[in-house]
Amino acid sequence: MQLYFSRNYNPRLAVAVGRHLGVALDYIFATPVQPDQQDLFRRLNPNLRLPILVDGGSSLWEADAIACRLSQVAGSGFWREGAMAPEMIRWISWGYWNFVDACDKVHFERVTKRRYALGETREDRVAEGLAQFAEAAALLDDHLRGAEWLLADGLSYADFRMACVLPFADLAGLPVDQYPQLAAWYGRLWRIDAWRDPFAGLEAPDLPPLAPA
């Protein structure tokens, strides 16, 4: 099995899952959007996006789907099945449309645009993202009061998915520390080797530097 990845946050998420679960994978750094790579990768993912999991003669794309498959391969409950599956999916869904979306809006304006020369930062979009972040972070902070992880029965993929942009929180200026339960939860995630440094020992060139603000 091969996992094609980059250092951006969704591919980072997939690599972290694979290494956390100990799945035997060939991790291959890739740049599908490069003109000389597009024909190859369009057969694996018509969107030309990473991550991509190649398993025998088939390919699977989208980080959540890949995490589900890797959990199956590992025989792990990291991706919950049975009674806890709806609870996990609830947090994945809510996170995507609320917390992760808020983080992504701010990160795109303050970081991605500067990294890839995509134009001026739109402060109205930053303000919108920060307001959305405050609302979502307050809800998470309350939920995590007295809880170690999002699910009552322990660490799950929902925690990894919810936190996917937070490795870039300092660059984006996301005020995680204003929410003590949220910050403590993320501190617990940061103590997991596969989360803190998923690229350890892999050939993974650094992301382009940020242009001056």
DSSP string, 8-69: SHHHHHHHHHHHHHT---EEEE--TTSTTTHHHHHTT-TT--S-EEEETTEEEESHHHHHHH
Cα 71 to Cα 61: distance, rounded to the nearest angstrom: 15
Question: What is the pTM assigned to this prediction?
Answer: 0.96
Taking alpha carbons only, the member of 17, 3, 2 closest to residue 164 is 17
Q: Which domains does the chain have, with CATH numbers?
A: 2-74 (3.40.30.10), 82-196 (1.20.1050.10)
Average pLDDT, the chain: 97
Residue 57: what pLDDT? 86
Residue 212: what pLDDT? 87
How confident is residue 213, by pLDDT bands cut at 50, 70 and 90? confident
Output the 3-class SS for 87-109: HHHHHHHHHHHCHHHHHHHHHHH
Write out pLDDT tens, residues 22-50: 999 999 999 999 999 999 999 999 999 99
Residue count of the chain, please give it.
213
Residue 181: what pLDDT? 98
Q: What is the mean pLDDT of residues 142-169?
A: 97
H helices present in 55-202, as ranges: 63-74, 85-97, 99-107, 113-116, 123-143, 157-162, 169-172, 180-190, 193-196
